[in-house]
Structure 1
Amino acid sequence: MHLVAPSLPWADVWGQPAAVAQLQRAAADPAHLSHAWLITGPPGSGRSTLAAAFAAALIAEPDDLAAMRQVLAGTHPDLTTLRTEGVIISIKDARALVERAYFSPSLGRYRVVVVEDADRMVERTSNVLLKALEEPPERTVWVLCAPSEADLLPTIRSRVRTLRLREPEIDDVAGLIVQRTGVDPQVAEQSARHAQRHIGMAQRLATDPASRERRASTLRAVLGVHGVNAAVEVAAHIVSLATEDAKALTAERDQYERESLLATLGVASGAAVPPALRSQLSALEDEQKRRATRSLRDGIDRVLTDLESLYRDVLMLQYGRGADLINRELTAELDVLARDWTPARTLTVLDRISATRENLEQNAAPTLALESLLITVASGRTP
């Protein structure tokens, strides 16, 4: 049996040799190929990268490197990728995806439909995919990506073949960051540890001193919360930092998209937009607002992940397992907290962090949700 060479399309897949081997077999031999796959793994484990490599191996002939590169670039006509930059995947987008799934491959061996962040589908959106998964079109392969099987409906899970990715070791992530960026190995190790093995976040921390400083100052501010007033101030500060970060990540892209759209519509720079064209500009602005909302939510979620690591460390110290701390730089402060608090109080805070994350997913106001969390931190009781 001929397997695709490790160089392409798998060159960017890192740390998942078992998964690569399984997908290579599936791409090379129809006997090992399922019509629908679910790739699961923690954030930063490389789900999307692996899905793209699998799509390239399915669509292109084993020796057609040009077609593989086209798939990996996301421009091949037989690849359809759905990713959302909003809070959820819309039912409209899901219907359009299913419609495209019924097209026959135009150039490649298969048509591949990749759904990134499949966990962002609400129930009625998931139901749109069911028929396509139950009665798959010939030579169409679905690849869904999500953190875990539990993030999808049972009806979806029963119709896909699950491939679970392994979580890389901290030293492996640090080594990869050094290889990619040339940063100091100690900075890479600290970043990999603080990012909890999330490769993308580790690379950002390693290469952006401002990000490292924001993380450190946020954790120290939370450790200093001892009353309601401090809880309110720190919650506002966290939301402010996350908002600024979100704007920094989206502002340049928003401006480029606006200018490109106006140029396409034939509107000169600085000229008034004709009434007949304003609906198209409004549609773009609405999409950008949804993207900004998701970016803010993702930023706050990263803060919650950091706080989980903080109080997880406290719990580890309380149970005498201080050799495996994520936030080693705060050991002195965490030791004090571990002595002053009971394990029950630490667990209450960890439970509240999980509840805060769920509340934000249900569109709770970020500042109010964080205030409630930090009041629990200060008092040890849920408001």
Structure 2
Amino acid sequence: MTDVFADLVGQDEPVETLRRAAEAAARVVAGEQVAAGAMTHAWIFTGPPGSGRSVAARAFAAALECERDGVGCGVCHGCHTALGRTHADVRFVVPEGLSIGVNEMRALVLRAASAPSGGRWQVVVIEDADRLTEQAGNALLKAIEEPPPRTVFLLCAPSTHPDDISVTIRSRCRVITMRQPPAEAVAEVLTRRDGVAADVAAWAAAAAQGHVGRAKRLAADAEARGRRDAVLAVPRRLTGVGAAYDAAAALIKAADAEAAEAVAESDTTERAALEQALGAGGTGRGAAGAMRGAAGQLKDLEKRQRSRATRAKRDALDRALVDLAGFYRDVLITSLRAPVPVVHTDVASQSEAAAGKWTAESTLRRLEAVLACRDAIDQNVKPDIAVEAMMLTLWRG
């Protein structure tokens, strides 16, 4: 890669804006005067899942630290370490659980107030800023209202709606809006960057509905393809009330298994590291007493790990629901003979057969049921209840 923005797919306008800002930032570092608004201290990157919000924020952070006057060359030490998340002046907040707490945010803001060690910028990248608690948001707001001279905050959120980011924070940030990249652009990146065969890349890009990361997983991971196949088989299985409940249980069980697999290694590593730090296995004087007194820290760790597992389960379930929504969308556009391609090309015969049996109105009700299930889970409705209600609607039509 010769450019930090190379992996941003189909985002020409945002990339151009970020390039100009990085060049202005480099002039600020050099002590030059720049036009008002050419560079600002707080940014929000918005867009649908898979559009590249966090990729854009990371690329911009690298361009700000670029040692070649902010061009974002991708090869200098500043670019390389920022992209690799090891730069001393670039900090990433990536929530593993359901929220970003106030203590974490206060510590980060305090650290970000120091002068950059490399002489360029202190950069704070907050992925999933929509998960900030109200108190954490207030702590961040104070820092954005009175920013240190060389600190830049980069927030990533699905939208600027008050449910995702507070109005007061939004009013103090410059917004970069990302769009869902076209499947052709995603396929081109998979082929160029990851060496995926052109036909596989085209299928994966369409199936992932513009989500670059998901497309890469589908192209490379047989288990991910298997989980998708199981989800797309759901409509055929809905032959009655009992089958609907069985399908709901299977979907929840699959999400549980995927989430458990995703967090198992990190959970084990974290616990072992904490126990070792607390003296587990030690034979010296006081070792046993130290472990007895460590119950509170182990309990806190278990709480964080449960939160991370819950988030992983919801994420896994949401990926399944997106695939299911794509199927009903395919049925609807086939029924209406819309001049757009289907998402799931490998089950086009199945969606075509369904289009011949269902009315467009009943298909739309099914699609709305899937979307309502996603919203309900996002609003903390118990997944089992939300999925069961969805399956019954999918069966009834």
What is the alpha-carbon root mean square deviation over aligned residues?
2.5
Q: Determine whether 1:141 maps to 2:152.
A: yes
2:360 counterpart (337, 343, 352): 343
Partner of 1:112, secondary structure, is strand
Tell me the matched-pair count.
375
Q: Determine whether 1:200 maps to 2:213.
A: yes
Q: Determine whether 1:377 maps to 2:390.
A: no
8 A contact 1:87–1:290 mirrored in 2: yes
Aligned equivalents of 2:76, 2:204: Cα separation in 1: 35
* Structure 1 counterpart of 2:385: 368
TM-score w.r.t. length of structure 1: 0.89
* Structure 1 counterpart of 2:11: 16
* Structure 1 counterpart of 2:105: 94
Residue 122 of structure 1, CA deviation: 4.4
Q: Determine whether 1:33 maps to 2:39.
A: yes
Residue 86 of structure 1, CA deviation: 0.7
Q: Determine whether 1:316 maps to 2:322.
A: no
Which letter maps to 1:19?
A: P
Which letter maps to 1:149?
A: T
Could you give the per-residue CA deviations for residues 156-213 of structure 1, whole angstroms, max 9, x where no partner exists? 2222111122432212212322334434332222111111121111111111122212
2:303 counterpart (275, 286, 291): 286
Larger deviation: 222-231 or 312-321?
Answer: 222-231
5+ residue gaps in structure 2? 26-34, 70-74
5+ residue gaps in structure 1? 1-5
8 A contact 2:101–2:135 mirrored in 1: no
Larger deviation: 59-68 or 94-103?
Answer: 59-68
Partner of 1:85, secondary structure, is coil
TM-score w.r.t. length of structure 2: 0.86
Give the 3 Å change call, closer, same or farther, for CA 327–13 of structure 1 in structure 2: closer
Identity %: 42
Give the 3 Å change call, closer, same or farther, for CA 269–60 of structure 1 in structure 2: farther
Could you give the per-residue CA deviations for residues 18-41 of structure 1, whole angstroms, max 9, x where no partner exists? 333322221221431011111122
Aligned pairs (5 A) from 1:124-203: 124-150=135-161, 151-203=164-216
Residue 12 of structure 1, CA deviation: 4.7
8 A contact 1:310–1:326 mirrored in 2: yes
8 A contact 1:116–1:146 mirrored in 2: yes
Partner of 1:57, secondary structure, is helix
* Structure 2 counterpart of 1:248: 261
Q: Determine whether 1:79 maps to 2:90.
A: yes
8 A contact 1:37–1:144 mirrored in 2: yes
Which letter maps to 1:130?
A: L
Larger deviation: 367-376 or 123-132?
Answer: 123-132
Which letter maps to 1:369?
A: A
Residue 350 of structure 1, CA deviation: 2.4
Aligned equivalents of 1:57, 1:170: Cα separation in 2: 27
Q: Determine whether 1:218 maps to 2:224.
A: no
Aligned equivalents of 1:206, 1:9: Cα separation in 2: 24
Could you give the per-residue CA deviations for residues 212-241 of structure 1, whole angstroms, max 9, x where no partner exists? 122112211233213221111001101111
Could you give the per-residue CA deviations for residues 243-268 of structure 1, whole angstroms, max 9, x where no partner exists? 11111111122222222333333423
Give the 3 Å change call, closer, same or farther, for CA 139–171 of structure 1 in structure 2: same
Partner of 2:123, secondary structure, is strand
Larger deviation: 270-279 or 352-361?
Answer: 270-279
8 A contact 1:181–1:207 mirrored in 2: no
Larger deviation: 157-166 or 70-79?
Answer: 70-79
8 A contact 1:227–1:378 mirrored in 2: yes
2:62 counterpart (56, 59, 64): 56
